[in-house]
Amino acid sequence: MFLAVAGLLTFTAFQSVRAQDQEATEQTAEAADAEEAVAAPAPETPANPFEATGSDKPLHQQLKAKFIEGGAGFMALVLICLILGLAIAIERIITLNLAQTNTNKLLDSVEDAIKKGDIEKAKEVCRNTRGPVASIFYQGLIRMDQGVENVEKAVTSYGSVQMAQLEKGLSWISLFIGIAPMLGFLGTVIGLIQAFDAIEVAGDISPNLVAGGMKVALITTVGGLIVAIILQLFYNYLISKIDTIVAQMEDASISFVDLLVKYQK
């Protein structure tokens, strides 16, 4: 009996020590895992803002997603401003390129015809030459029999008409440059109002509500500013192109009047 009781006590003590050792081992392993988790570096934040929302998407899909997030109504208005502005700008660029002529060659041809006394030949040369300079020369040749003063007045007046035609459509581009950012700011204000309405309904300032409303609001502003920048570049290019053509018109008109005075009978 004594040996049986002693064996039972020994077995119980052995099981207790084994359980304590196993528990201590598990605690040590959990502590090691916790230290590794603390020491592990944080994941790197992608430099590209689009990477956080799926960098594997093509660029046009990302732009489409941003367009929808900004509100289809206001973003559509901004897009219409861009399309109309680009259409007018491209039409003006083509027209201005066609309006440029070789003024020196035209003056030489007209001078040769006038020197020979063939005014009709000079008119035909002007009719067959495109551009405002040739049109101004033609108006002056029509009034050659009225004197140099009347020719000079006709050249000056018709030059103003041609200048107005060259500047046709620029006012619309200027309008789109001004209205596109305004539409973007209007969308921003409306987005902020919607964000505050959502906060009022929720009864609490949630970071998700504020961030979502601000994101939608700022997308419209970015869209409007991008449209204005693009159209402003085209507008400045057209202005410089028109200035170059007007300078050629003025110089050619002076040379034309001097030519008529030289060969006036």
Q: pLDDT tens digits for 8-64?
A: 444 444 444 454 455 555 555 555 454 554 444 444 444 444 444 445 666 556 665
Q: Give me the numbers of helices (H) and strands (E) for the chain, helices first please.
A: 9, 0
Give CA angle at 85 (80, 86), nearest 5°.
Answer: 100
Closest CA to 142 of 130, 159, 127: 127
Give SS3 for 42.
coil
CA-based torsion, 175, 177, 179, 182: positive or negative: negative
- Is the CB of residue 263 less than 8 Å from the CB of residue 121? no
Give SS3 for 148.
helix
Q: pLDDT of 103-119, one tens digit each?
A: 888 888 888 888 887 88
Q: pLDDT of 138-179, one tens digit each?
A: 888 888 878 778 888 888 888 888 888 888 889 999 999 999
What is the enclosing helix (H) or strand (E) of 51?
Answer: none
Is the pTM of the predicted complex or chain greater than 0.75?
no
255: confidence class by pLDDT, cuts 50, 70, 90: confident
179's tokens: 């209205």
Residue 229: the pLDDT is 95
Kindly compute the dihedral angle of the four CA atoms of residues 147, 134, 160, 143, in this order, to the nearest 10 degrees.
Answer: 20
120's tokens: 């009709």
In 27-99, the DSSP E strands lie at none
Give CA angle at 51 (48, 54), nearest 5°.
Answer: 160
Cα(221)–Cα(225) distance, integer angstroms: 6
